[in-house]
Amino acid sequence: MDTRLEGRIVCITGASSGLGRATALRFAASGARIVCADLRQAAEPVETEIKQKYGDDRAIFVQVDVCEESQIEAMIKKTVEWAGRLDIICNYAGLATEAAHDPRQRLHETSTADLDKTLAINLRGVWICCKYAIIQMLAQEPLPENARGERTRGKIINAASMLGLVAIGGTPNYVPSKHAVVGLTKQIALDYAQDRIHANALCPGFIDTPLIASLVADPEAKKQLAAAHPWNSLGKSEDIADAALFLASDES
């Protein structure tokens, strides 16, 4: 039995599908209590699955629009009201407007509205989630000492992307937004190390989730996208959930 996150309180945005859902299930299996936050509740709610497997006190759903600062603040407040503290936040809510365009567009062909929407969710939303998570983490007592005698106040895990490190054709909104998340995570890690708050960004390649469903609807297009990866296949949500588990645990 995996108990690496036993009793830890975790808030995950974008928890209804994709990476968020896989991470919620993986963290719950490791003993965490999960706030499953999303704009919409899934047809088969992840919090219901967690409750059925591990107990009614192990998960709740909180509706949040990460474009709205007041809703993010309320999400953190609800987390603390439910569980008493916040130990880990996973900022996974995101979108790729380019996925809706076929063929993909270059910058001069892209609407400013698409840019604004991308930055509002992928960058501003993550920034604000980090802000209110940090406020709570600074206000609470650190966790008990781990095996190495260290006490942490909290952990932040942001969903960036391979495209936060490199570029690919036809993604003039997504690429800048994820580069910004990488930079934001570096800044938080530097500024709050003295407070024992950890910050990391995950930078996966293309993962077979609803985010890219329109890109891979055509089997040939999916094959071509997979071929762009050295492993010659798309990643799975569970792959990233395992990486997030390491970052959330005392092992990191």
pLDDT in tens, 156-190: 999 999 999 999 889 999 999 999 999 999 999 99
Residues 54, 92, 132, 174: which is the catalytic one? 174
Confidence grade of residue 245 (pLDDT, cut at 50, 70, 90):
very high
Q: Compute the 3-state secondary structure of the chain and give helix, strand, coil in percent, each to the nearest 5.
A: 50, 15, 40
| Of 85, 165, 158, 169, nearest in space to 125 by CA | 158
Q: How many domains is the chain partitioned into structurally?
A: 1
Write the CATH number for 19: 3.40.50.720
Residue 227 clears pLDDT 70, i.e. is over it: yes
Assess if residue 57 is contained within a domain: yes
132 is catalytic: no
User: What integer pLDDT is reported at residue 63 of this predicted model?
Assistant: 98
Buried b / exposed e along 227-247 (16+ C-beta atoms within 10 A): eeeeeeebbebeebbebbbeb
Confidence grade of residue 212 (pLDDT, cut at 50, 70, 90):
low
Assess if residue 39 is contained within a domain: yes
For the segment 99-125, the average pLDDT, to the nearest whole number, is 92
Assess if residue 3 is contained within a domain: no
Assess if residue 189 is contained within a domain: yes
Assess if residue 220 is contained within a domain: no
Q: Which secondary structure element, helix H or strand E, spans residue 76, and what is its range?
A: helix 69-83
Assess if residue 74 is contained within a domain: yes
Q: Which secondary structure element, helix H or strand E, spans residue 154, and what is its range?
A: strand 154-159
Assess if residue 76 is contained within a domain: yes
Confidence grade of residue 67 (pLDDT, cut at 50, 70, 90):
very high
Domain extent at residue 184: 9-208+237-248
* Residue 159 to residue 110: CA distance in whole angstroms: 24
User: What integer pLDDT is reported at residue 64 of this predicted model?
Assistant: 98
Distances (CA, A) of 141 to 137, 195, 219: 8, 11, 51
Residue 113 clears pLDDT 70, i.e. is over it: yes
For the segment 67-74, the average pLDDT, to the nearest whole number, is 98
> Starting at the edge strand that comes first in sequence, how are the strands of the sheet with 33-38 ordered?
59-63, 33-38, 9-13, 88-91, 154-159, 197-202
- For residue 144, give the amino acid letter: P
Assess if residue 191 is contained within a domain: yes
Residue 216 clears pLDDT 70, i.e. is over it: no
Per the prediction, the chain carries an average pLDDT of 93
* Residue 202 to residue 209: CA distance in whole angstroms: 15
Residue 214 clears pLDDT 70, i.e. is over it: no
- For residue 59, give the amino acid letter: A
